């Protein structure tokens, strides 16, 4: 993307990055909410309606899942599975499009541009395949970190079932498997932080899936602990913002569930709607915060502020 560098670039402390990010969010609140809501609000409404309809027996009751003999109807299970897969694909698609658009919108506003909501989606659309590819690679990498330990534990469970001398081998495999699982946890944290900026690399710098992960690793190389601290702080903040409304709306649902045996359709719908609206409010905040840190890493590691200053001087000279 050919967006100019953000204005007022300079190294900042974590607290200052969050303060500047919150100010940017406040000053452009409606714009960022519009970008996040364009695809997430319709998806949230569809998901809420389907979930509450099924949960409250509007589509089918629990008895519809069973045959007269008491066995589960295969067609009912298949329909439920297809519905779950469809919703998961819709959610993943919405996440990809809104993430790319939000990153573009944040960069544009940091650069002083006034791109609209549709402009953010239109200009970021071509980066969605690269973002999807990076997500797939990331998922496969994390799967590979845990798969060896899980396989060994599974084999150990089989050996335990055989009894006799196989139990000794099972114990050895369990110990090795548990060790590998803990190693996988450590490696997953290490690489999760190293790849923290893969979305910015894919969307804002037009990197492909593989190079986006490598680009992020280069940016984080000498600032891993700072990135980890920022990630923990951001996770705690967004989790608190997400859980508070859910906890408030869950109380009346729990009360009415105890009185009536199941929550009313309206209360369940309200709870789903609140969750969707909360997510729409949090998504821009997360995108702003991570992008602010991304540019801070570029300033510290690549002197992006000096590069941007030279570009501004060249533009001024060209106009003169």
Mean pLDDT across the stretch 145-169? Answer: 84
3-state secondary structure of 1: coil
3-state secondary structure of 146: helix
Neighbour count for residue 57 (Cβ, 10 Å): 13
State the pLDDT at residue 284.
95
Report the C-alpha dihedral over residues 269, 273, 279, 281, rounded to 10 degrees.
-160
State the pLDDT at residue 318.
47
pLDDT in tens, 236-254: 989 888 887 777 766 666 6
Within 13 Å of residue 218, how many CA atoms lie on the same side as its CB? 10
Range in 11-20, 58-67, 94-103, 288-297 with the lowest mean pLDDT = 58-67
What's the rounded Cα separation, in Å, for the pair 239 and 246? 11
Neighbour count for residue 189 (Cβ, 10 Å): 12
State the pLDDT at residue 307.
57
Residue written as tokens 């196989």? 166
Give Cα separations from 146 to 141, 143, 217, 231 (angstroms): 9, 6, 21, 22
Burial of 211 (C-beta count, 10 Å sphere; 0-12/13-18/19+): middle
What's the rounded Cα separation, in Å, for the pair 295 and 270? 38
pTM for this prediction:
0.82
State the pLDDT at residue 260.
52
pLDDT in tens, 55-108: 554 444 444 555 545 555 666 667 667 767 777 888 888 889 999 999 999 999
136 vs 84, residue with greater confidence: 136
């Amino acid at each position: 993307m050919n967006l100019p560098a953000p204005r007022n670039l300079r190294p900042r402390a974590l607290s200052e990055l969050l303060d500047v990010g919150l100010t940017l969010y406040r000053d452009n609140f409606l714009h960022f909410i519009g970008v996040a809501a364009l695809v997430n609000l319709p998806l949230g409404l569809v998901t809420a309606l389907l979930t509450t309809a099924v949960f409250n027996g509007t589509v089918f009751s629990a008895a519809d899942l069973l045959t007269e003999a008491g066995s589960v109807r295969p067609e009912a299970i298949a329909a439920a599975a297809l519905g779950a897969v469809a919703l998961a694909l819709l959610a993943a698609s919405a996440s990809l499009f809104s993430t790319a658009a939000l990153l573009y919108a944040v960069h544009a506003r940091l650069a002083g541009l006034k791109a609209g909501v549709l402009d953010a989606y239109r200009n970021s659309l071509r980066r969605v395949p690269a973002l999807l590819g990076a997500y797939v690679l990331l998922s496969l990498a994390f799967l590979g970190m845990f798969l060896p330990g899980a396989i060994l534990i599974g084999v150990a469970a089989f050996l335990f079932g055989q009894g006799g001398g196989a139990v000794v081998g099972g114990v050895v495999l369990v110990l090795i498997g548990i060790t590998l699982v803990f190693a996988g946890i450590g490696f997953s944290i290490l690489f999760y932080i190293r790849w923290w900026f893969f979305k910015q690399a894919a969307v804002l710098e037009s990197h492909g899936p593989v190079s986006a992960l490598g680009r992020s690793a280069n940016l984080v190389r000498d600032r891993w602990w700072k990135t980890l601290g920022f990630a923990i702080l951001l996770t705690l903040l967004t989790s608190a913002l997400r859980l508070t409304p859910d906890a408030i709306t869950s109380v009346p649902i729990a009360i009415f569930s105890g009185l009536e045996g199941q929550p009313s359709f309206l209360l369940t719908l309200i709870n789903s709607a609140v969750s969707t609206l909360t997510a729409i409010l949090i998504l821009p905040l997360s995108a702003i915060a991570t992008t602010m840190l991304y540019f801070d890493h570029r300033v510290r590691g690549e002197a992006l502020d000096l590069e941007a200053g030279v570009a501004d001087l060249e533009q001024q000279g060209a106009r003169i």
